[in-house]
């Protein structure tokens, strides 16, 4: 059976005895570090080691336990940790090395490979589409994000956008309520009729603003438009009828009405080149079509 012996006799306990006078004896026999039958280390065997290793070594009382521990360590380092701990590529790494590194830790090579999981909340789902989400995908590729990291960014974006949208809706509702209160205060029971007049003036002026958007502007603007209808500043034949506004006729439909409706006051002038208002009406139709496009 193989035994561990210390290379120098001075490191082992020596057998007691007095060397013969006038001469040097052979080195005393060294004691084994462990019992060859039980593989148990002798008491304080670790004292032969450097001081910084003694505490660790003292945990082992048998040789086979030490061997098993070392074998398990090798297996862990060489196997279990393989693929989990990866050093980033060096600055001079080749594109192939970088690609291999990214693949090993799950980083997609193309923006299209980032597929985001949408939440069950329908209010959030719409924010997982569109140019901003595509920008997140491009950022993820450039930044070397894993799919999990990119998902977190997309989730954060969607949540913040939903909160911002809800805030805008809330502020808009407050503004509309304040607008309605002010219009009611000024016009009283004539509010509906005055609002209709304001919308007629707005459409007749060829403004790109939709008549249904008046409520999102200061009440003074609506009051001003309604005042123009009452003042006669716009001739009746140029003022869009109440019926057209009530039927929610858009600007392109107004242009078609001039072209196709013979009862429209501008119809004859549009088709009759000799009519003194011909050029004016044609320009009006063109402007209405441009506004509606």
Query: Which residue bears the tokens 């998902």?
Result: 151
**Count of other CB atoms within 10 angstroms of residue 204:** 21
Give the helix ranges, DSSP H, for 31-94: 51-57, 63-75
Distance of CA 237 to the CA centre of its chain: 55
CA angle 91, 92, 95 (to 5 degrees): 100
What pLDDT shows up at residue 28? 45
For the stretch 97-106, contacts whose Cβ atoms lie closer than 8 Å and that sit 24 or more positions apart, written own/partner, are 102/144, 105/146, 106/146, 106/147
- Which two structure tokens, joined as six digits, stand for 136? 């997140």
By three-state DSSP, how is residue 210 classified?
A: coil
In terms of Cβ atoms closer than 10 Å to its own Cβ (0-12, 13-18, 19+), residue 106 is: exposed
- Nearest CA to 215 out of 186, 179, 167, 171 is that of 179
What pLDDT shows up at residue 10? 41
Q: How far apart are CA 31 and CA 29, in angstroms?
A: 7
Per-residue model confidence as pLDDT tens for the chain (293 residues): 444 444 444 444 444 445 555 555 444 445 678 888 888 888 888 888 888 888 888 888 888 888 888 887 777 655 544 545 456 667 788 878 877 878 777 788 888 899 999 999 888 998 999 899 999 999 998 888 989 999 999 999 999 999 988 888 888 788 888 999 999 999 998 888 888 888 888 888 876 777 777 887 899 999 999 888 878 777 777 777 766 665 555 566 567 667 776 767 788 888 888 888 888 888 888 887 776 55
Q: How far apart are CA 100 and CA 113, in angstroms?
A: 16
Which tens digit of pLDDT belongs to each residue from 178-193?
A: 999 999 999 998 888 8
């Amino acid at each position: 059976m193989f035994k561990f012996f210390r290379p120098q006799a001075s490191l082992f306990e020596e057998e007691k005895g007095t060397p013969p006078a006038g001469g040097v004896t052979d080195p005393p026999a060294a004691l084994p570090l462990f019992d060859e039958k039980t593989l148990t280390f002798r008491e304080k065997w670790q004292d032969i080691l450097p001081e910084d290793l003694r505490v660790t070594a003292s945990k082992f009382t048998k040789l086979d336990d030490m061997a098993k521990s070392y074998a398990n360590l090798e297996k862990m380092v060489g196997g279990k940790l393989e693929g989990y701990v990866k050093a980033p590529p060096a600055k001079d790494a080749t594109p192939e090395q970088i690609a291999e590194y990214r693949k090993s830790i799950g980083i997609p090579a193309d923006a299209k490979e980032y597929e985001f999981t949408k939440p069950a909340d329908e209010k959030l789902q719409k924010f997982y589409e569109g140019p901003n989400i595509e920008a997140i995908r491009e950022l993820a590729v450039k930044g070397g994000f894993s799919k999990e990291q990119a998902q977190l960014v997309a989730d954060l974006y969607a949540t913040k956008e939903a909160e911002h949208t809800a805030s805008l809706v809330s502020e808009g509702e407050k503004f509309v309520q304040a607008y309605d209160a002010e219009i009611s205060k000024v016009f009283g029971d004539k509010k509906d009729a005055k609002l209709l007049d304001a919308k007629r003036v707005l459409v007749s002026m060829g403004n790109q603003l939709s008549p249904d958007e008046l409520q999102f502007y200061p009440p003074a603007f609506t009051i001003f438009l309604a005042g123009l209808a009452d003042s006669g500043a716009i001739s009746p034949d140029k003022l869009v009828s109440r019926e057209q506004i009530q039927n929610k006729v858009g600007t392109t439909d107004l242009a078609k009405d001039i072209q196709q409706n013979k009862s429209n006051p501008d119809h004859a002038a549009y088709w009759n080149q000799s009519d003194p208002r011909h050029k004016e009406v044609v320009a009006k139709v063109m402007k209405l079509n441009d506004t509606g496009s």
